[in-house]
Structure 1
């Protein structure tokens, strides 16, 4: 049997341009969530979870308003975190990123993501469609998990605000990436959150 994970990064929040990690959604973030709800309105969701952060909670609430059958639940396993630290195979170009991250943060993030994979990568006995509203690094780690890539490879995998990534997790076969950071539901002016502006 298969489990489909619909991974969504929260909408843009009001202080995102000033480097603040969390906060209430901006008007643009609200519109991103509304358009995402229209995009996924026909999916027969089995369950929904969201990070307890303000931005993820508000995004999930907007999705629930448009999709009343979706009842999101908060999960501490979906908080933003640093999933892994420096390693011998880490490319030097990424090494400086960890200068401001403590060993305790890395240990906590590594443990959190191990528990998150065990919790959410669980297809069970029937077909499932599960919605997860979370943060960029969590989605990047889940994508890395699908490819069984080196731990550091979540770095450089970026998700736009309210971009859509879909994974298929199977009990008898390896998981697969079906869609990554799909932005078809967002017009150009609402495509925020990426390190670089996309030309299309």
Structure 2
């Protein structure tokens, strides 16, 4: 009996490539979401949750159009956020990134992610398949959490648009990372959203 958590970053959006700005999916983002739906079709999802932001909502809608058995629901715990500010251990190279955010942003992000961990990283009985359509930083925080890495390590984890990360927990065992940022369903020209995309 295993609890699977499928974490997906939304498709590419039109208004911003980085940061917390929102916008509708780009034509590439629509194609990414459709290919992701094909990849996930056939999985027996018990629940599908998505960030209420437009780019994640549209990604969820495309999946639902191609996967009629699912009924995606918005969840505020999956909003885009910045989980921490600079910590004592954060390398100084990351300091410029934090300059556009306030202490209130950091506090809100940390509280949100604490609630998200308590909501979603909780073992449920039986075989469970849950899909979360969310944002890069949220997925990074989940992965950092289950690996027990230092808080600042979320900054070093990145997901492509419509990349797939899978976490799993068997009864009596800790969570494990099954796959991270799997983009096998995306052709090279649709592999967007990463600082660097390898050619293979």
Task: Tell me which interval the TM-score lies in, with the shorter structure as reference length.
Answer: over 0.9
Task: Give 1:24's aligned residue.
Answer: 24
Preserved contact between residue 161 and residue 192 of structure 2 (Cα < 8 Å): yes
Which residues of 2 match residues 1-200 of structure 1 at below 5 A? 1-17=1-17, 21-200=21-200
Preserved contact between residue 17 and residue 193 of structure 2 (Cα < 8 Å): no
2:165 and 2:176 map into 1 onto residues whose CA distance is 11
Q: Deviations over 1:160-182 (max 9, x none)?
A: 00000000134522110001000
RMSD: 1.4
Q: Which runs of 5+ in 1 are unaligned?
A: none
2:40 and 2:90 map into 1 onto residues whose CA distance is 37
1:175 and 1:18 map into 2 onto residues whose CA distance is 29
Preserved contact between residue 20 and residue 80 of structure 2 (Cα < 8 Å): no
1:19 and 1:138 map into 2 onto residues whose CA distance is 13
Give 1:39 deviation, angstroms.
0.5
1:12 and 1:167 map into 2 onto residues whose CA distance is 23
TM-score calculated relative to the size of structure 1: 0.95
1:15 and 1:2 map into 2 onto residues whose CA distance is 39
Preserved contact between residue 169 and residue 176 of structure 1 (Cα < 8 Å): yes
Q: Deviations over 1:72-109 (max 9, x none)?
A: 10000000000112111111222222122111000000
How many residues in Structure 1 have an aligned counterpart in Structure 2?
A: 200
1:128 and 1:178 map into 2 onto residues whose CA distance is 15
1:19 and 1:131 map into 2 onto residues whose CA distance is 23
Cα distance, 1:20–1:175 mapped onto 2, change above 3 Å: closer
